[in-house]
Structure 1
Amino acid sequence: MAAIDRRTFLLASGLGAASLLTPARFAFAQVPSNRRLHGISAFGDLKYPADFTHFDYVDPQAPKGGLFNFQPPSWQYNQNVQTFNTLNSFILRGDAPPRMELCFDSLMVRALDEPDAQYCHLAEWVEVSDDRNIWRFGLRLEARFHDGSPVTAADAAYSYNLLKEEGHPNIVITLREMTEAVAIDERTLELRFSGDQSANAILAAVEIPVLSKAYYSDRPFDSSTLDIPLSSGAYRPSRVDAGRFIEYGRVEDYWGRDLPTVMGQNNFDTLRIEFFADRQAGFEQFKKGEIQFRQEFTSKSWATEYNFPAITQGRVIKRTFPAERRPMMQAWPVNQRRARFSDWRVRQAINLCFDFRWTNDKIFYNAYERSQSLFEKSEFVATGMPTDAELAILEPLRERLPEAAFGEAVTQPVSDGSGRDRALLRQAVTLLDEAGWKRDGQVLKKDGETLSVEILIRSPVFERVLSGLVENMRRVGIETSIRLVDPVQFQSRLDTFDFDMVGLALSMSATPTRENLASMFSDSFAAVEGSNNYPGAQSGVYDDLLAHVGKAESREALVTAMRALDRVERARLDWIPNWYSADHKVAFWDMFGFPDTKPDYGWPVESLWWFDKEKARAIGR
């Protein structure tokens, strides 16, 4: 794209007369151009006006202080919750500790009580050109890196261009249609897009971390390193012991501490994360009080192990919190880069071997619900017959889609709960036979190849969880094994797609963009190491479906496109949905305060809670 100078842009868009406090009152697809906005919303009005002082889900009077030692329930990019060997969290190489992102600021930040809103943070204002291909940001004069140097438009432009070329694949995908980032002057940044970006691509783009150009000018960005990077965020690493623990210290003179996007957050003086190779060691540390907050993902532990003295004494609180209203996927991708899994009948046969009712009763203490979709907990789950609007998307693809995509939304098999439902196993055998796999002794073969499946896991707990599935797969003739590997090898094998089948959980934005979904579904990313396209399907249909997601100019249109995508995925079964929990199962030492209102679209406890001295004193802490 040809360079556009500042004067040309101003003449074309009328930005010279823009007002800083003009509210964004229109749908994002029709967001007013030529105006300086304090925030943007994809499909509706912003909840917060330009003069808002804080988000409703925080306590602006929350005290500062104390230590929060927790086990993160989520992570991103190359982060690992079992070990770490680098502090560079924005590349594919290495294993970084969770929450390094707290050390970096971004142009805008999400409101966690709105599904599709971003508010200015590092940027003081944002404006867009008439054709929606150029977004301009005015950076705040007070923005500073931790060494006192200013955060400039040159730093932001450098960051966007660098991360598009050398960043983690999921960042590269987010910025795929950004043609360039340009510093117009010291405080003005332009992000320029090709015109082929989705309508909502900017929602993810504005969350990219801004790095120091001076810091990285004489350091290789793509290397794994334990050097503490120069950053500008509310926290920075203060103590680091690779593979064992990391502490993030709150930056006392953080430049953005009084911004409305920050007020009431980042209350702990120190965030500490300890790393354990297996969950039991971490749980024992929690029982002793060394770790203070834990979200439990093992149903057996939740049902039987939370009876230690601190619980009975009331010093540890065990409770549930409602889950967020965001798409949540927990499923098994079956790797179609291996030809034996390319036939949907093989994947369906594996699915038929999973007796969820038995597993939920005997293994999970009935703590879970069966997943039907990759978009559970959201409005994107398809139900019943396709609507006329969904059919308008599906019909042009009919010749390339399974017939099941046009009927009632596919639901997962319902077993008799015996653990070895004979009717379902007979269906599995029939499907495998139709796919050309014939019995040869105890196993199935086709063209001399044995139908084998190795299920990759990172924790011994899954050996018990998967026991029933493995036995049923063996019963129908699939040579099945479980491979337990260490955390570094597990992540490496995921990144390079070196597995047959693996269990994964992914949380998505409440307003998914075509760019982010492409990482999971697009043919073009099936060979991109580090992307989320773990099934590696070369279907030829997902990109067409994602185009409709990208073009959605209303919430209704987005829901329609997502439900059409859901119908196709469930009919193809590239990912096999397994189970999900309808709430957060949490235990914590009773020494914290937290807001009465929990936001619907995110729950970063480490940012929203605070240390309560009186409570801590009452429990002897």
Structure 2
Amino acid sequence: MKTILFASLLTVFSVLAPLHQAHAQDGDKPVITPAPTVAVDEADLAPLTTRSHGISLYGDLKYGPDFHHFDYVNPDAPKGGTLVQSSIVAFDTLNPFTLKGNPAAGLGLIYDSLMVSSADEPYAMYGLIAHSIEVPDDRSYAIFHLDPRARFQDGSDITAEDVVFSYEVLVEKGSPVYRQYFSQIEGAEVIDELTVKFTFKPGNNRETPMTVAGISIMPKKFWEGKDFAKTTFEIPVGSGAYKVASIEAGRRITYERVKDYWAADLPVNRGQNNFNTIRYDTYLDMEVQRQAFLAGEYMIRSEHSSRDWNTAYNTPAVQRGDIQKEFMPDHLPTGMQAYVLNARNPLFADKRVRRALQYGLDFQWLNRAMFYGAYHRTDSFFANSELAATGIPTGAELALLEPYRDQLPERLFTEPYKLPNFDAPNGRREALRESMTLLNEAGWEVRDKVLVNKETGQPFRFELIIRQPGLEKIALVVKSRLKQLGVEMDIRLIDTGQWVNRIQAFDFEVTTHWWTQSLTPGNEQRVFWSSEAADQPGSRNFAGIKDPVVDAMIENVASADSWEELVAATHALDRVLLWGNYVIPQWYLGGDRMVWWNIFGRPDTVPLKGMSIMRWWIDPEKATKLQMGGF
């Protein structure tokens, strides 16, 4: 999954939404089968396995077993101060792992995993709670050896039983996303107090050991007697570098660094977790949120509006250098930001209809008139990377697609996928003509300037739900373009909490969404596009894709044995998704627009996966000058 570059952004497993007063709930104990203790002779395993301090998806590890710190951190970064960030919505739970409730921002800070990814390798992980991993050549299982020093925040030992509990409770009581993401895991078992074995289902499991290595580890004892599936304001006991210090319902959550954190000086942590306190303040309006930043109420933000990036920061603080403003480019896959057409709705079940609606987005005009020319058109589900399909399929990619030729559009094999370009000669006229032809073929016709179903006379009308006021102006442009097809689009602005609940339940016709991607796509593609995920509320298959060819392409991606195979498989998946016309692609920036108050120090080296605020630190001299940061 894509690494999120700044801690204030969302992860694939957590979504922010409104806060409603709640209380810790006691109830039935989660139904978790106790993990059996299995006697295993390690001598029998040794000839079959390789034991290492880390694991890489492809190729060798960059860092050896005795490395001191990652190259992209300052191992001597000073500790101290307070980092204040913002959240756009409130929260009603401190459990980020379930579908119920809206978790507080930053809860990932309180949990560690067995291993942790490096930011300057495409996909490699190094020991944290587990000091080493043991896998056979076929990666049919993984054995993790826990660090005997590992402790939870209450001082209790982290044991293999806690690891097994964490996996099983996520699968049985957590969000349905986990069941899909961990679908290749057969089971987990305790070998001894500090050794745990995960067995994988038959097939190519190259990525699965790393999937397991990323599980957040929770104390079994804390959750005994509690219903894991319910929302709660009871402060959880975690395994990470920070713990919840306080919450103010509807306003903020504060974390403090664990003073006796056992892993503070491990190589994977040196130079990171540099703030004594991290606080998230809640703002329910984006303009208020921006103004609060300019007033110094919080310290760093990512700006998503081209207009505001160009106009809202012409302030004395910026001119003095008190606020720093920088565009940070990257070469990471940006994924797909798009208007999502819910194919579960009969209105969008026909791919010809979905293709015709792409006429409604005049990207070239929008980019000139509203975006200051800042964006690129998203023409791939893996845009901004070599994983994006281009041209026509050849070589290894063609070999993957060939067995499904009779289930795919013939044009997929003979021409590149192209979106309407209204700036091309006669581009608007040709796009309109093609769209009307497709709609007629699909059973629709224009009567009195209204597109209606030929048989029933039903008008073609749908609702677009959005959660940001800034998106309404863009939607109005789309609405006017679709009007030329006889299509009526209603625009409804709703709050983020309602939006989250509706899309998780697939209760929408059209909305906007951004699927982020990583340098090494894998198991998460099942959550995004698989037929199984289409029927599972809480999955990220918002488009309702149910296509056996897509399912087959996903398996090719997940089972790729080399970088070359992964690229070919991802190209094939990308191409099949594009020709399915499930979305109206929007645009991407190719980096982050960041603004921050000038109180920070940061490492000189920018790694492959970009900057992270958790590698920055507060400079006492700068903070004192601006009277910010707790110094």
Shared fold by TM > 0.5? yes
Following superposition of structure 1 onto structure 2, how do residues 396-415 of structure 1 map, counting pairs within 5 Å? Answer: 396-415=403-422
Change (3 A) 1:427 1:613: same
Q: Distance in 2 between matches of 1:152 and 1:602?
A: 33
Cα distance change, pair 67–156 in 1 and its aligned pair in 2 (3 A): same
| Counterpart residue number, 2:246 | 239
Q: How many Å apart are 1:450 and its aligned residue?
A: 2.3
How many angstroms does 1:328 deviate by? 2.4
The question of 1:55 aligning with 2:70 is answered yes
What is the percentage of aligned positions where both structures have the same residue? 39
TM-score under structure 1 length normalisation: 0.92
The structure 2 residue matched to 1:10, chosen from 33, 42, 50, is 42
1:548 alignment partner, SS class = helix
Q: Map 1:565-604 to 2 at 5 A.
A: 565-604=573-612
Contact 2:40-2:191 within 8 A present in 1 as well: no
Residue aligned with 2:75, SS? coil
The equivalent of 1:219 in structure 2 is 226
Partner residue, 1:335: 342
Contact 1:69–1:272 (8 Å) recurs in 2: yes
Counterparts of 1:420 and 1:166, CA distance in 2? 52
Distance 1:417 1:363, change over 3 A: farther
- Residue 498 (structure 1) aligned with residue 493 (structure 2): no
Secondary structure in structure 1 of the residue aligned to 2:499: helix
Matched letter for residue 135 of structure 2: V
Q: CA separation in 2, counterparts of 1:609 and 1:618?
A: 18
Match of 2:136 in 1: 129
Residues 466 and 512 in structure 2, CA contact (< 8 A), matched pair in contact too: yes
Q: Distance in 2 between matches of 1:436 and 1:517?
A: 33
Aligned counterparts of 1:130 and 1:389: Cα–Cα separation in 2: 24
Q: How far apart are residue 171 of structure 1 and its match? A: 1.9
**Mapping of residues 396-435 of structure 1, within 5 Å:** 396-416=403-423, 421-435=428-442
Q: Deviation at 1:34?
A: 2.3
Q: Which amino acid aligns with 1:57?
A: Y
Gaps of 5+ in 1: 16-32, 73-80
State which of 82, 92, 98 in structure 2 corresponds to 1:85: 92
Name the amino acid aligned to 1:404: R
Could you say what secondary structure the match of 1:466 adopts? helix
What is the DSSP-based 3-state SS (H/G/I as helix, E as strand, rest coil) of the residue aligned with 1:35? strand
Deviations for 1:34-59, whole angstroms, at most 9, x for unmatched residues? 23200011110100000011111111
Partner residue of 2:25? none
- Alpha-carbon distance in structure 1 between the residues aligned to 2:96 and 2:610: 21
For the structure 1 residues 196 and 450, does the alpha-carbon distance in structure 2 shift closer, same or farther, using more than 3 Å as the test? Answer: farther
Q: Which stretch has the larger CA shift, 349-358 or 413-422?
A: 413-422
Instruction: Say whether residues 1:546 and 2:554 are aligned partners.
Output: yes
Gap change, CA 1:157 and 1:584, over 3 Å in 2:
same
Q: Distance in 2 between matches of 1:98 and 1:477?
A: 43
Matched with 2:52 is 37
Q: 3-state DSSP class of the match of 2:554? A: helix
Indicate how the Cα distance of structure 1 residues 86 and 257 shifts in structure 2: closer, same or farther if over 3 A, else same.
same
Q: Could you give the per-residue CA deviations for residues 434-493 of structure 1, whole angstroms, max 9, x where no partner exists?
A: 211112334222132321221111111110122211111122111101111111110000
Match for 1:484: what amino acid?
A: L
Is 1:294 the equivalent of 2:283?
no
Which residue in 2 is equivalent to 1:202? 209
Determine the C-alpha separation between the residues in 1 that align with 2:174 and 2:576. Answer: 31
Runs of 5+ unmatched residues, structure 2: 1-34
Please give the residue correspondences for 1:70-81 in structure 2 after superposition, counting only pairs within 5 Å: 70-71=85-86, 81=88
Q: Is the 8 A contact 1:353 1:428 kept in 2?
A: no
1:421 partner SS: helix
RMSD: 2.0
CA distance in 1 between partners of 2:298 and 2:42 (Å)? 54
* Deviation sequence 1:269-314 (CA, Å, 0-9, x none): 1111122222101001001011110110011101111112211222
Correspondence for 1:273 among 276, 280, 297? 280
SS at match of 1:499: coil
Distance 1:275 1:484 in 2: 20
Q: 1:418: how far off? A: 12
Provide closer, same or farther for how the CA distance between residues 282 and 434 of structure 1 changes in structure 2, counting only shifts above 3 A: same
Say whether the 8 Å CA contact 1:174–1:201 is kept in structure 2.
no
SS in 1 for 2:209: helix
Residues 87 and 96, structure 1, Cα contact 8 Å, conserved in 2: yes
The one-letter code matched in structure 1 to 2:71 is: D
Residue 417 of structure 1: how far off its partner (Å):
8.8
Q: Counterpart in 2 of 1:114?
A: 121
Q: CA deviation at 1:384?
A: 1.5
* Corresponding position of 1:526: 534
Match of 1:67 in 2: 82
* SS of corresponding position for 2:183: coil
Distance (Å, rounded) in 1 between the aligned partners of 2:86 and 2:356:
37
Return closer, same or farther for 1:12/1:602 CA change in 2, 3 Å cut-off: farther
Following the alignment from structure 1 to structure 2, what is the Cα–Cα distance between the partners of residues 507 and 166? Answer: 25
Aligned to 1:379: 386
* Structure 2 CA distance for partners of 1:137 and 1:602, relative to 1, 3 Å: farther
Q: C-alpha displacement at 1:616, in angstroms?
A: 2.1
Q: Secondary structure of the equivalent of 2:50?
A: coil
**Distance (whole Å) between structure 2 residues aligned to residue 241 and residue 159 of structure 1:** 28
Structure 1 residue identity aligned to 2:387: F
Tell me the CA shift for residue 135 of structure 1: 0.6
Shift in CA distance, 117/82, structure 1 to aligned 2, threshold 3 Å: same
Q: Distance in 2 between matches of 1:420 and 1:200?
A: 44
Give the secondary-structure state (helix, strand or coil) at the position aligned to 1:587: strand
| Partner in structure 2 of residue 78 of structure 1 | none
Task: After superposition, give the CA deviation of every residue in 1:144-197 in whole Å (9 maximum; x if it has no partner).
Answer: 111111111110011111111121222221211212111111100111111246
Q: Is the 8 A contact 1:355 1:417 kept in 2?
A: no
**Are the counterparts in 2 of residues 324 and 599 from structure 1 also a CA contact under 8 Å?**
no
Between 170-179 and 292-301, the greater mean CA deviation after superposition: 170-179
Q: 1:130 to 1:10 in 2, by over 3 A?
A: farther
Q: How far, CA to CA, are the matches of 2:135 and 2:427 in structure 1?
A: 59
Show the counterpart of 1:19: none
* Map of 1:560 onto structure 2: 568
Amino acid corresponding to residue 152 of structure 1 in structure 2: T
SS at match of 1:508: coil
Q: Distance in 1 between matches of 2:537 and 2:80?
A: 41
- Opposite residue 114 of structure 1, the aligned amino acid is E
Counterpart of 1:30 in structure 2 is none
- Note closer, same or farther for the CA distance 1:254–1:400 as it changes in structure 2 (3 Å cut): same
SS of residue matched to 1:220: coil
Partner of 1:475: 484
Report deviation, 1:266: 0.5
Q: How many residues are matched?
A: 593
Query: How many angstroms apart in 1 are the aligned matches of 2:396 and 2:59?
Result: 21
Question: Alpha carbons of 1:417 and 1:382: their partners in 2 closer, same or farther (altered >3 Å)?
Answer: closer
Alpha-carbon contact 2:36-2:190 (below 8 Å) kept: no
Please tell me whether the aligned partners of residues 162 and 218 of structure 2 are also in contact (alpha carbons under 8 angstroms).
yes
Q: Is the 8 A contact 1:13 1:130 kept in 2?
A: no
8 Å CA contact 1:353, 1:424 repeated in 2: no
Quick check: 2:139–2:205 contact (8 Å CA) kept in 1? Answer: no
| Structure 1 CA distance for aligned equivalents of residues 550 and 357 of structure 2 | 23
Taking a change above 3 Å as real, the CA distance of residues 547 and 420 of structure 1, as seen in their structure-2 partners, is closer
Closer, same or farther: CA 11–142 of 1 in aligned 2, 3 Å: closer
Residues 206 and 327 (structure 1), Cα distance of their counterparts in 2 relative to 1, 3 Å cut: farther
1:598 is matched by which residue type in structure 2? V
2:166 to 140, 151, 159: 159
CA distance in structure 1 between the aligned counterparts of 2:590 and 2:189, rounded to whole angstroms = 44
Residue pair 1:83, 1:487 contacting (<8 A) in 2 also: no
Structure possessing the higher relative contact order (Cα contacts under 8 Å, 6 or more residues apart): 2
Q: Which amino acid aligns with 1:62?
A: A
Q: In 1, are the aligned partners of 2:37 and 2:189 still within 8 Å (CA)?
A: no
